[in-house]
Amino acid sequence: MAEAGTLQDAFIDELKDTYDGEKQITKALPKMAKTATTPKLRAAFETHLRETEGQIKRLERVFNLMDEKPKGKHCDGLAGIIEEGKNVMGEDFDETTMDACLIASAQRVEHYEMAAYGTLIAWAKAMGLEDAADLLQQNLDEEKATDEKLTALAEGGINQEAADAARPDEDEEEEEEEVVAARPTARGAAKRASR
Ligand code: FE
Ligand code: FE
């Protein structure tokens, strides 16, 4: 009978999964940057692409610390999240709404990564792998900072702009109703009566 796997085996598995996930993200981010309209959002995606490339290098160092060859194992979870993001990019949204949707997709990715790194760090520490834990912590810090930056962009204007973009028609209608209400015509009376 084969020997039962250890936490170290599970750690290497998670590491491979995360390594593959980061590689998937380096393919997705350029498309997201290209789709983004708000310059700060585009810049955030471009910055995170460079960070992600650095994260891959750190993961390779963790593999080396474990005497393992860096190797990926298909990360189905991130593949699903990225696939959903692609579907959203195919939708016909106005520019700022698309930016709000890109942020929503990107934050799902960051939270998934934060969960993965949180586990990897906790396991590394439990096994006394402090050097590995330090490298993984640097990746986690970047994911957290990216998540916060995306929240700041969404709440600092993009969401409101997207909400306002849907309103010009509504404003016109309201103005029209006000004009109608000011002139007590038959049409206005009928409209008021119908409210
Ligand atoms: Fe990452
Ligand atoms: Fe990330």
CATH of the domain at 60: 1.20.1260.10
Residue 138 covered by a domain: yes
CA 186 to chain centre: 53
Q: Residue 82 Cα, ligand 1 centroid: separation in angstroms?
A: 13
The one-character DSSP state at 38 is S
CA 154 to chain centre: 12
pLDDT digits (tens, 9 = 90+) for 105-116: 999 999 999 999
3-state secondary structure of 108: helix
Residue 161 covered by a domain: yes
Banded pLDDT at 2 (limits 50, 70, 90): confident
Is the model's pLDDT at 162 over the cut of 70?
yes
Q: Residue 167 Cα, ligand 1 centroid: separation in angstroms?
A: 37
Between the ranges 2-6, 105-109, 168-172, where is the mean pLDDT highest? 105-109
Q: Residue 26 Cα, ligand 2 centroid: separation in angstroms?
A: 9
Residue 15 covered by a domain: yes
Q: Residue 64 Cα, ligand 1 centroid: separation in angstroms?
A: 19
Is the model's pLDDT at 193 over the cut of 60?
no
Residue 178 covered by a domain: no
Q: How many Cβ atoms from other residues are within 10 Å of residue 116's Cβ?
A: 23
pLDDT digits (tens, 9 = 90+) for 9-58: 999 999 999 999 999 999 999 999 999 999 999 999 999 999 999 999 99
Instruction: Please say whether the beta carbons of 82 and 109 come within 8 A.
Output: yes
Residue 33 covered by a domain: yes
Q: Which residues of 3-15 are buried (b: 16+ CB within 10 A; e: fewer)?
A: eeeeeeeebbebb
pLDDT digits (tens, 9 = 90+) for 46-97: 999 999 999 999 999 999 999 999 999 999 999 999 999 999 999 999 999 9
- pLDDT at residue 177, as a whole number: 55
Q: Look at the chain and report how many structural domains it folds into.
A: 1
- Which residues are close to ligand 1, an ion, with C-beta < 5 A? 22, 52, 55, 113
For residue 107, the enclosing domain spans 7-165
Q: Please compute the mean of the pLDDT values over residues 124-138 and round it to a whole number.
A: 98
